[in-house]
Structure 1
Amino acid sequence: MLHTPRVLTTDLGRDPKSALIFNFVRLGIRDKLYGLRQCIGFGRPDRAVLDHLGVPDSAIATKATEWAASIQPDFVQYHGLRSFAFGVALAEYHDVRFDREMLYIAAILHDISLASSAHDGPGSFEVEAAGCAHRWLAEQGYDQEKADVIHEAMALHSAVCHTGPRDPEGLLLHLGAGVDVVGMQVMNIHRDVRAKILRDYPRTGFVKDFGQLVVDQAYHKPQCHIAGLVDVGFKKALASNPLDRPA
C-alpha cells in the first residue's frame, strides 16, 4: 500500500492571550485534581518505570544525538534528554503505547532551531526545527511516515491551545517537555524517577539560559508562537518549576 503523506504543519502563529490564559488555568486545575486524587491514595505513580528510561541505541538515534550535540549547547541537549525520559514516565502512567525511537528523535531535536541560529528561520522555532529534522531524516533514508510523525510532534510540542489529535509520540513530547519547562503533571512521575532523571541530566543553567533563548526568540519574532507564551508569563512559570525545589 502506498503511503499518503500527511499535511504537515508549516505555520504556528501566536495564540490569542485569552485562549492561552484559559488553557493554562484549565491545565492547572487538572494538575490540582491529580494531586488531590493522589493525596487520598488513587493514581499514584509507580517507580518501576526507572527500569525503562534508557535512550534507544539504534543507529539513527545515535546519529540524532550526535547531530543535536553538534548544534546545541548542553543545557538544551539535556532538556531534550529529560523531555524524553519524562515522556516515557508519563506514557507508563497514562498507559500510552508509543515508538521509543520516534519519541527520542523528536525529543532530542525539538529545540534545535531555538538553540542554533544557523538552523532557524523566519517562522516559529518549533516549525523551523521540525522542518530541519524532517529534511535531515530524509537525508538519512529514514521512513517517511515516521519522519512525518516526528515532524508533527516537534512542530506542535509547545501548542497548549492545539485541539486536534496528536500521535502518541506527539502527546508524550508535549507532556515530557511540559514537565521539564513548567512542571506540568510533575506529580504523575514518582519522586525517585524524577531524582534519577535530574541526576543523569542536570538542569544546571537551564532556567536562566533557556529562558533567555525563549525571550530573545519572542523579541526578534513578535508574532511567533512562543511570543504569546512569553506574554502570559512563560519566564515566571519556568522559574517556578517544582523540579527546582528541594525534594
Structure 2
Amino acid sequence: MSRILTTELARDSKAALIMRFALLGIRDKFYRIRQSVGVGLPDRAVQDHLGVPDSPIAREATAWAASLQPDFVQYHGLRSFAFGVALADYHNVRFDREMLYIASILHDISLVSPECDGPGSFEVEAAGCAHRWLGDQGYDRDKADIIHEAMALHSAVCHTGPRDAEGLLLHLEAGVDVVGMQMMNVHPDVRGKILRDYPRTGFVRDFGKLVARQAECKPGCHIAGLVGVGFMKALASNRLD
C-alpha cells in the first residue's frame, strides 16, 4: 500500500529552530571530543566506494538533472551523494545506492527549474516533480515514494518522525555540503577526494542566491525560517571551503 506523501513543509518557529541547531551543535562537539582521543574515527577506505550507480535509471536521472540545473547545483548533488555514502559507512546504515543517488542528484531541481517549482516549499516541489518523472519512467512506486519523502524532508531539521535510510542520509549529506554538519565524520582524505572530483567553485555565492530568492518569494516556506536564523552565515562559514 502506498504511503501518504508529504505535500507541505511549513516554516518552523524561530525558537524551535534555534533549539534544534543548538542541540545539533552539541552533537557535533561530542563527535569532535570523541575523535580527539581516538574514538569513533571515520574510515579512509570508504573513498574506494564513492562511485555513482551505473544503472539505466541512475544514468537517466543524471542526464535529466543536468538538463535542469547548472553545474554548481549538479556538483552539489554529486558531492552530497558521496558524503552520504561516507556517513552511511560511519553510522553503519544500510541503504539502497540507486535510490539515494536519485534523491541526491534531484533534491534541489526546483531551485533552478521553473517547471519543477511551484507555490510550496522548494523541497516538496522538487520531490513532487521527481516523483512524477520517476512514474513516467516506470520506476517502482514504493521506491519512488521513499525518494519523494527523502527529498521533501531533506532540510527539515525539526522533523521528529521516522525517516527511511535514504531520507536520513540525504538529510545528513546535504548538511555536510551546505553548512558542514558532521563533517568530522568523513575522513579528511575522503573529503579531499570528493572536493577534487566535484569542486565547490562558486557554490556558496550562487547557491546562497537561490535560497535567498526562495525565502523572499515565499516568506512562509520552510527555507525562509532557516534563513531567518542564520542560514546564510552558516553557509558562508562552512569549513569545507
TM superposition score normalised by structure 2: 1.00
Query: Please, which of 29, 36, 40 is the counterpart of residue 39 of structure 1?
Result: 36
Q: Following TM superposition, by how much is the alpha carbon of 1:223 offset from its aligned partner in structure 2, in angstroms?
A: 0.2
Shift, 1:117, TM fit: 2.0
Q: 2 CA distance for matches of 1:41 and 1:142?
A: 44
SS of 2:42's partner is: coil
| 1:55 equivalent in alignment to 2:44 | no
Q: Distance in 1 between matches of 2:95 and 2:70?
A: 28
Does 2:143 match 1:153?
no
Q: Partner residue of 1:212?
A: 209
Structure 2 residue 23 is matched with structure 1 residue 26 = yes
Note the aligned Cα RMSD (angstroms): 0.4
> Which of 198, 201, 207 is the matching residue for 1:201?
198
Per-residue deviation, 1:205: 0.4
Between the aligned partners of 1:37 and 1:98, the Cα distance in structure 2 is 26
Looking at structure 1, the residues matched to 116 and 55 of structure 2 have their Cα atoms a distance apart, in angstroms, of 24
Q: CA deviation at 1:196?
A: 0.2
Taking the aligned partners of 2:16 and 2:178, their CA distance within structure 1 comes to 20
User: What is the rounded CA distance, in whole Å, between the counterparts of 1:242 and 1:100 in structure 2?
Assistant: 27
Partner of 2:222: 225
What does residue 141 of structure 1 align with?
A: 138
Q: Percent same amino acid among aligned pairs?
A: 78
TM-score (norm. length: structure 1): 0.97
Quick one: which of 168, 176, 179 aligns to 1:179?
176
Matches of 2:120 and 2:111, distance apart in 1: 11
Distance (whole Å) between structure 2 residues aligned to residue 49 and residue 210 of structure 1: 28
Moved over 4 A (4+): none
How far apart are 1:118 and its partner, in Å? 2.4
Equivalent residue, structure 1, for 2:64:
67
Amino acid across the alignment from 1:30: R
- CA deviation string 1:145-202 (max 9, x = no partner): 0000000000000000000000000000000000000000000000000000000000
CA apart distance, 1:61: 0.2
Q: Does 1:190 align with 2:183?
A: no
Check if 1:240 corresponds to 2:232.
no
Q: Distance in 1 between matches of 2:114 and 2:181?
A: 28
Following superposition, the deviation at residue 116 of structure 1 comes to: 1.4
| Count of equivalent residues | 241
Q: Unmatched 5+ residue regions in structure 1?
A: none
Tell me by how many angstroms 1:115 deviates.
1.6
Deviation at 1:47, TM superposition (A): 0.2
Note the residue ranges of structure 2 that are not aligned, 5 or more in a row. none
Aligned residue runs from structure 1 range 90-169, under 5 A: 90-169=87-166
Q: Distance in 1 between matches of 2:216 and 2:153?
A: 21
